[in-house]
C-alpha cells in the first residue's frame, strides 16, 4: 500500500512511531507523504494527543506533543519517562561496547545504530554519531571473526531451561577438538571474550582433570565452540547448589581453571584501587611502612600469571586451598 493511500489509523501510528524515536515531524512533509491537507494533519496530531492523554492517565507516564516554535518548526514528543537513554548515557554505552571488541562488526554496529536511533532528538543522535565515528572507522575485530549472538542466545536458553548440551570444543593447545556433554550454568564476559561455564557429564575425572575433586565448573570460550546441540534431557540442580554467576565472577577474573583458594600477598605499588578493582574479594589485612597485606578468594590459576606480571610490587605470596 502506498503512503498516499494509507488510512487515518496507519498514518497516526506511523507519525507516533517517528515521534517516539525522538524525531521531529513537519506539517509540509507529512502532508506530502500521505497526500493530505493541513486540516487532516491537525486532526491526526489531535488524535495522537488524545491517545497520549488517555495512556498517561492509565500509566502515569506523561507524554505530550510539543508544537512548533521559533527554534523548532516541527512537532516533537516530550516525555517525563526515564525509559530513554540520555545522550551522555548513550555515549558511555557505545564507548564500552566498542572498547570491549566483544562482537564482530556485523553484530556490534547494528546494536550501536539501534541504540542511537532510540536517543531522543535529531541533534543528539547526530552528536553521538560524530563522537564515536572515528572509533567505528578504526574498529578492529578479534582474530576469531565469529558471530556470537545466536550462540549466546542458544546457550542462555539451555541454562535457563536446565537442559543438557552437547558441545564440540576446539582447544587452544594443538587445536584439538573434544566432544563434551555438559550442564551449562552460566555465561560470562572477560577481556574481549564470552565464556560458557558448565559441569562436564559422563567423564573420567581421574584421567581428565588435574584436580578430580574439583567442584567448580569448567570454562569454555564461546568462540571456540565448533558445535552446540541443546538436548531434550534436563538436569537438576538443588537450590542450595545453584551456580551463581555474580559470586563466581568475584572470584575468577582470569578465566583459567583450577581450585578455589585464599591468597595473601604484600603489595608495594602506588595503586591500591587497581588491586581492589582487579580482585573484588580482596581485603586489606594490614598496612605498614613496607606496604599493604591483601587477602582474597580466587578461583583458578590465572591469578598466578597476573601476580607475576606485577613484578616486585607483589611479594610474600601465600596460597591456601579452600
- Residue 233 pLDDT > 80, yes or no? yes
| Domain boundaries of the chain, sorted by first residue | 3-79, 87-137, 149-243, 260-321
For residues 141-160, average pLDDT: 93
Q: Report pLDDT for 317.
A: 87
* b/e code 120-156 from CB counts within 10 Å (16+ = b): beeebbebbeeebeeeeeeeeeeeeeeebeebbebbe
Of the candidate CATH numbers 2.60.450, 3.40.50, 1.10.3470, 3.30.70, the domain formed by 260-321 belongs to 3.30.70
Range from 63-67, 207-211, 218-222, 262-266 carrying the lowest mean pLDDT: 207-211
Q: What is the CATH number of domain 149-243?
A: 2.30.30.520
Q: Which range, of 59-73, 272-286, 295-309, averages the lowest pLDDT?
A: 59-73
Q: Which of 70-74, 79-83, 107-111 has the highest average model confidence (pLDDT)?
A: 107-111
| Residue whose cell numbers read 591456601 | 320
Query: What's CA 252's distance to the chain center, in Å?
Result: 18
Grid coordinates 606480571 are at which residue?
309
Tens digits of residue pLDDT in 159-179: 999 999 999 999 877 788 989
Strands (E) in the chain, as ranges, are: 63-66, 76-79, 163-170, 177-190, 193-201, 218-221, 225-234, 260-267, 283-288, 291-299, 314-321
* Rounded average pLDDT over 268-272: 86
Positive or negative, the CA dihedral 239, 240, 241, 243 is positive
Count of residues making up the chain: 322
CA 225 to chain centroid, in Å, comes to 20
pLDDT of residue 92: 93
pLDDT digits (tens, 9 = 90+) for 255-265: 566 677 888 98
Q: What is the DSSP letter of 68?
A: P
CATH assignment of 3-79? 1.10.10.10
Asked whether the beta carbons of 170 and 221 are under 8 A apart, the reply is no
Lookup result for grid cell 570454562: 219
Question: Residue 40: its pLDDT value, please?
Answer: 92
Separation of alpha carbons 155 and 187, rounded Å: 8
Q: What is the DSSP letter of 192?
A: T
Amino acid at each position: 500500500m502506498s503512503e498516499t493511500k494509507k488510512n487515518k489509523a496507519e498514518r497516526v501510528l506511523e507519525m507516533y512511531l517517528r515521534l517516539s524515536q525522538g524525531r521531529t515531524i513537519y506539517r509540509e512533509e507529512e502532508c506530502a507523504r500521505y497526500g493530505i491537507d493541513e486540516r487532516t494533519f491537525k486532526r491526526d496530531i489531535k488524535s495522537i494527543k488524545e491517545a497520549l492523554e488517555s495512556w498517561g492517565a492509565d500509566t502515569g507516564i506523561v507524554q505530550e506533543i510539543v508544537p512548533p516554535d521559533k527554534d523548532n518548526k516541527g512537532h516533537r514528543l516530550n516525555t517525563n519517562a526515564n525509559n530513554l537513554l540520555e545522550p551522555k548515557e548513550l555515549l558511555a554505552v557505545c564507548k564500552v561496547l566498542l572498547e570491549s571488541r566483544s562482537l564482530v562488526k556485523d553484530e556490534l554496529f547494528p546494536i550501536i545504530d539501534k541504540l542511537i536511533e532510540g536517543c531522543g532528538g535529531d541533534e543528539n543522535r547526530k552528536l553521538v554519531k560524530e563522537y564515536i565515528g572515528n572509533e567505528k572507522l578504526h574498529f578492529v575485530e578479534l582474530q576469531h571473526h565469529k558471530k556470537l549472538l545466536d550462540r549466546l542466545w542458544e546457550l542462555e536458553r539451555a541454562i535457563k531451561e536446565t537442559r543438557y548440551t552437547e558441545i564440540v570444543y576446539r582447544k587452544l593447545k594443538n587445536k584439538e577438538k573434544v566432544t563434551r556433554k555438559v550442564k551449562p550454568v552460566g555465561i560470562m564476559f572477560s577481556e574481549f571474550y564470552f565464556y560458557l561455564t558448565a559441569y562436564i557429564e559422563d567423564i573420567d575425572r581421574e584421567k581428565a582433570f588435574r584436580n578430580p575433586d574439583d567442584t567448580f565448573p569448567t570454562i569454555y570460550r564461546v568462540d571456540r565452540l565448533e558445535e552446540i546441540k541443546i538436548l531434550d534431557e534436563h538436569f537438576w540442580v538443588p537450590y542450595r547448589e545453584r551456580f551463581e554467576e555474580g559470586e563466581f565472577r568475584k572470584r575468577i577474573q582470569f578465566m583459567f581453571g583450577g581450585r578455589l583458594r585464599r591468597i595473601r600477598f604484600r603489595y608495594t605499588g602506588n595503586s591500591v584501587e587497581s588491586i581492589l578493582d582487579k580482585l573484588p574479594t580482596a581485603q586489606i589485612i594490614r598496612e605498614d611502612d613496607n606496604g599493604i597485606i591483601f587477602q582474597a578468594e580466587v578461583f583458578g590459576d590465572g591469578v598466578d600469571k597476573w601476580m607475576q606480571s606485577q613484578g616486585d610490587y607483589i611479594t610474600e605470596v601465600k596460597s591456601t586451598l579452600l
